[in-house]
Amino acid sequence: MLRTVTLLATTAAFLIGPQLLEAQTEQSRWGDEKKSFNLVLTRRANNNAYGTSAFSFRQASQKLDEHGNYVDLVYNGCGLLHFNPVGGMSSRVADLGEQEDLAVKLDPNEKRVWAQQAYLPEEGHVYWQEVKCGGQTMTVKYRIQDIERDEIKIQWAVVNELAGPVPRRGMAGTMGQCGGQHRSQ
């Protein structure tokens, strides 16, 4: 009897296994690295809500009710892209230089200067961002497609899927508006 139950359980796992794999694959929010998305950030004009001046890669959204101000990139009034706007974030960004597309990969052996807070975006450049906030981690890369005075067009893709605990609940505050132009840091 025990042998029959074991055989049935093994057969059931074999039959269900591929379906479970497909279900797990379908749960991926962003798909594979070859899939890219477009995003438009508008320059933040005041200290009010972020609106379209910020984006959460972790939630793949600019909508406040989805990201709760736990955003990963803000186009602030100073003209820089800020990427640690939430207290306790420790994200960093590397400029991979001017590139035709997102096909470039980060060479782990190449010495890079990593920005720690904000940087002046350059059109045509690809940036590699390691997102770290509240125990969550994710890696994305994005290319600055077009820069106008009050708008930046970005193409982005996931490099490493979101990992870590369920995000914080409630709303975070917004970062203050920069007092004027300042250097990348």
14-24 per-position pLDDT tens digit: 333 333 233 33
Domain ranges of the chain: 31-163
Q: How far is CA 109 from CA 94, 106, 116, 163, 184, in A?
A: 13, 9, 20, 24, 24
Confidence of residue 46 (pLDDT cuts 50, 70, 90): confident
Can you give the pTM of this predicted structure? 0.78
**Are β-strands 54-55 and 73-75 bridged in parallel, bridged antiparallel, or unpaired?**
antiparallel
Residue 41 has a CB neighbour count (10 Å cut-off) of: 23
